[in-house]
Amino acid sequence: MGYKVVVVGATGNVGREMLNILDERQFPVDEIAVLASRKSMGTEVSFGDKTLKTKDLATFDFTGWDMALFAVGSEATKEYAPKSAAAGCVVIDNSSLYRYDPEIPLIVPEVNPDAITMYSNKNIIANPNCSTAQMVVALKPLHDRAKIKRVVVSTYQSVSGSGKDAIDELWDQTKGMYVPGQEKPARVYPKQIAFNVIPQIDVFLDSGDTKEEWKMVVETKKIIDPSIKVTATCVRVPVFVGHSESINIETEEFLDEDEARDILREAPGILVVDKREPGGYVTPVECVGDYATFISRIRQDVTVENGLNLWCVSDNLRKGAALNAVQIAELLGRRVLKKG
């Protein structure tokens, strides 16, 4: 016996990827419903070799369903996730709405699987921000060995992290550069994204940080350890899929770069590609469609007592969203619901 699963936001980037991953990982699905907004009613989406017709989220009854994987914005989540949770259908949510609620677990299964026990507080589990998810996978095994004190991270985030309209904007603006009369102004982003980089992701806070930067700080503390200090600079780059991060780590105990490489090689969810030669590292185009968080450029930072630098790349639609959500569903199944 398997699960009755609802995918909410099934026409979006993350929703489609969740359907692919449920199928790829042979998640035990007995029945599946795919939901989006009313305007997408009847739109077809693929689930393995099946084609499913999208239903309207606004009129869907969650009673009798086991779990709902939500990938709609915070507003629609706020309206519909509580309905699912109240009907006994456990919500696994990709939006940022519930991540900072102390009663709701924020889970990366390789890092803090035991937090799953908190799911029953509200029948809701939160999935972290894409840039946090890949970073904590890399940080956790190093923290366990040498206790991380401080992290300085700069991100290079792809446009797919802002939804399907942003992908179109990069594509259309890039084409528009070469076709006179077809220039496309910035709409999704505050400045031109084609052939440019934008040091702003999400809104500005009073501190001068952006909300994306704040999310990386708060989520890392919630998932790994409240004592870790994080400072982040988040940058949007003209890449379609795959987030990259330059991570500088200071630890309490000395950690040699070779030992760090060995620890990361053994850690769950990580693939180390670290040859000190041209091309001996991973770039975003190579990680598309992969499950792993790739680590390259592992080296000592000799400007501080116990410092390390590394380069971390992952498919933001997978580990940063859809894969992590499906891994949470697997964890929920294995530890709690125990069907399948």
Task: Give the Cα separation of 249 and 238 in Å (integer).
Answer: 27
**CA dihedral sign, ordered 10, 333, 318, 286:** negative
203 burial (CB, 10 Å; 0-12 / 13-18 / 19+) is exposed
For residue 204 the two structure tokens come to 């500005």
Q: Which of residues 170-229 bind ligand NAP (CB under 6 A)?
A: none
Q: Which of residues 119-178 bind ligand NAP (CB under 6 A)?
A: 130, 160-161, 163-164
Compute the least distance from the CB of residue 291 to ligand NAP, in Å. 15
Question: Looking at beta carbons only, is 40 or 306 nearer to ligand NAP?
Answer: 40
For residue 91 the two structure tokens come to 């919500």
Binds ligand NAP (CB under 6 A): choice among 6, 7, 9, 287: 9
The piece of 12-20, 103-111, 146-154, 276-284 that touches ligand NAP (CB under 6 A) is 12-20
How many H-runs (helices) and E-runs (strands) does the chain carry? 8, 14
Q: Which of residues 19-48 bind ligand NAP (CB under 6 A)?
A: 36-37, 39-40
Binds ligand NAP (CB under 6 A): choice among 320, 326, 328, 332: 320
Give how many residues touch ligand NAP by CB under 6 A.
27
Closest residue by beta carbon to ligand NAP: 12
User: Would residue 243 show up in a list of annotated catalytic residues for this protein?
Assistant: yes
User: Would residue 143 show up in a list of annotated catalytic residues for this protein?
Assistant: no
CB 238 within 8 A of CB 194: yes
Compute the least distance from the CB of residue 163 to ligand NAP, in Å. 3
41 burial (CB, 10 Å; 0-12 / 13-18 / 19+) is middle
162 contacts: CB under 8 Å, gap ≥ 6: 188, 189, 236
Question: Looking at beta carbons only, is 81 or 260 nearer to ligand NAP?
Answer: 81
Which stretch of DSSP H or E encloses residue 229? strand 229-236
Q: Of 234, 243, 287, 312, which one is the catalytic site residue?
A: 243
CB neighbours (10 Å) of residue 53?
13
Compute the least distance from the CB of residue 94 to ligand NAP, in Å. 4
Compute the least distance from the CB of residue 164 to ligand NAP, in Å. 4
Which stretch of DSSP H or E encloses residue 112? none
Question: Looking at beta carbons only, is 94 or 306 nearer to ligand NAP?
Answer: 94
Binds ligand NAP (CB under 6 A): choice among 115, 317, 329, 332: 317
Please report, as a single letter, which amino acid is at residue 300. Answer: Q
Contact letters (x/-) for ligand NAP, 89-118, by CB under 6 A?
-----xx-----------------------
Task: Give the Cα separation of 155 and 134 in Å (integer).
Answer: 11
Question: Looking at beta carbons only, is 20 or 94 nearer to ligand NAP?
Answer: 94
Which stretch of DSSP H or E encloses residue 327? helix 323-332
Q: Interface with ligand NAP includes 316 (CB under 6 A)?
A: yes
Catalytic residues: 130, 243
Judged by the rule CB under 6 A, the positions of this chain that interact with ligand NAP are 9-15, 36-37, 39-40, 57, 71-73, 76, 94-95, 130, 160-161, 163-164, 316-317, 320-321
